[in-house]
Structure 1
Amino acid sequence: MSGPAVEVSVVEDHPLYRAALVGSLTETPGVRVGAAARSVEEFLAYRRPAGTVVLLDLSLPGVRGAAAVLTVVERGHRVLVVSAQSGRDDVLSAIAAGAKGYLTKAADGDEVIRAIRTVSTGGTYVSPTLASILLDSASRRQAGPRLALTARERQVLSLLAAGERDVDIARALSVSVRTIRSHLDRIREKTGRRRRPELTRLAIEEGIVMAGIR
């Protein structure tokens, strides 16, 4: 792999699995191990630079699950979940919280490295074994009633789910920030979803996520 090495950190509380991941990464050309921690709190104490790819388990001491994903993402890192949990809610919640990829611990070393490289360049990666969950979610959406959102509200929601800030959404749609916040207030009233991760998950469930504007 040409160019600067990709920094990858591991947040995993099982010592043997953590050591196995670190050992595999250490032997991979183009990859540099940044930190190996047993919890999100321990990882954050290392103060790794923004943009680090973080292999993150969901069953951790302290902050865990989608909250762990959100905490790490908010520090500017790219999260690739590697978890024994593979339920529909686990996958959708992690993606809604900002994870750029999701693997189960059944993934082999080659797939882990492939996912790391995809995520490090701004892409997303979901294990083929989990893709059926997203397809099933899409099928349920099509079979069920649609949300009563206007076309503009769907545009706003899709851009929010792509990670855009209110000011960026306003610029993209050529309206004021105040107008965007009014749209978001109406979306919250209609859906009962309040926080941005909840709205992101809603967009995923409704199939109205689109690429960001950058």
Structure 2
Amino acid sequence: MIRAGVIEDHPLYRAAVARVLSDADDIDLGPVSDSVPGFAVAGEPAGCVVVLDLKLRGVTDAAAVHKVVSMGHKVLVVSAHAGQEEVLGAISAGARGYLSKAADGEDILHAVREIAAGNTYVSPTLASFLLNSARGVRSLLSERERQVLSLLAAGERDADIAEAMAISVRTVRSYLERIRDKTGRRRRPELTRLAIEEGIT
């Protein structure tokens, strides 16, 4: 049996995650708390897979991950905050996995099982942040995606990019969404700055 716990300060989400874990045949639900200190009070023996929210009262963010890891547990972060800074900070603090709160129950169960087996698990979209930090953005993007990003950085509108590349506006927007997913940059000024930083102009 996999021993799992939950640290989440939103009551409804905390109850939902606890229910998903307790309903699984191979998981034994341990402490469920709204804070890291509250979890610590339970005295859970080392080795638990802890589903942890980042934005908590008191001990929060990477410090929360570090504290739970220091108790001897394996941390799976499930957070509504899934930007590059949060993902890299949590992994650096010792988290073994990271999911956004868009993940469904099956995703969480899969991640908990992987981590319990000694592996790591980061959703494919968020994994790009880790690749980013190691390899640079340029290598993550296809040639067409780099071309779209270059035209965006030059100040072109979606319709102008479509005309220049002889593709539809819908295709341009599809490329832009993929670029956003891979890089974690959402707004046009952020994408423009990224293109300049990476020399994609």
Does TM, scored on the shorter chain, surpass 0.5? yes
Identify unmatched segments of 5+ residues in structure 1. 144-214
Alpha-carbon distance between aligned partners in 2 of 1:140 and 1:129, rounded to the nearest angstrom: 15
Alpha-carbon distance between aligned partners in 2 of 1:65 and 1:53, rounded to the nearest angstrom: 17
3-state DSSP class of the match of 1:81?
Answer: strand
Instruction: Provide the residue aligned with 1:57 in structure 2.
Output: 53
Alpha-carbon distance between aligned partners in 2 of 1:29 and 1:116, rounded to the nearest angstrom: 13
Shift of 1:138: 2.3
Q: Which has the larger radius of gyration?
A: 2
Task: Look up the equivalent residue of 1:109 and give its one-letter code.
Answer: G
Is residue 123 from structure 1 mapped to residue 119 from structure 2 by the alignment? yes
Instruction: Provide the residue aligned with 1:24 in structure 2.
Output: 20
Moved >6 Å (runs of 4+): none
Give me the CA root mean square deviation. Answer: 1.5
Alpha-carbon distance between aligned partners in 2 of 1:23 and 1:76, rounded to the nearest angstrom: 24
Is residue 10 from structure 1 mapped to residue 6 from structure 2 by the alignment? yes
* Aligned residue among 102, 107, 130 for 1:111: 107
Alpha-carbon distance between aligned partners in 1 of 2:69 and 2:135, rounded to the nearest angstrom: 29
Alpha-carbon distance between aligned partners in 2 of 1:98 and 1:42, rounded to the nearest angstrom: 20
Instruction: Provide the residue aligned with 1:99 in structure 2.
Output: 95
Instruction: Provide the residue aligned with 1:87 in structure 2.
Output: 83
Alpha-carbon distance between aligned partners in 2 of 1:105 and 1:13, rounded to the nearest angstrom: 13
Alpha-carbon distance between aligned partners in 2 of 1:136 and 1:85, rounded to the nearest angstrom: 18
Shift of 1:141: 8.6
3-state DSSP class of the match of 1:136?
Answer: helix
Number of aligned residues = 139
Task: Look up the equivalent residue of 1:131 and give its one-letter code.
Answer: A
Alpha-carbon distance between aligned partners in 2 of 1:126 and 1:102, rounded to the nearest angstrom: 5
3-state DSSP class of the match of 1:92?
Answer: helix
Shift of 1:128: 1.0
Give aligned-pair identity as a percent.
52
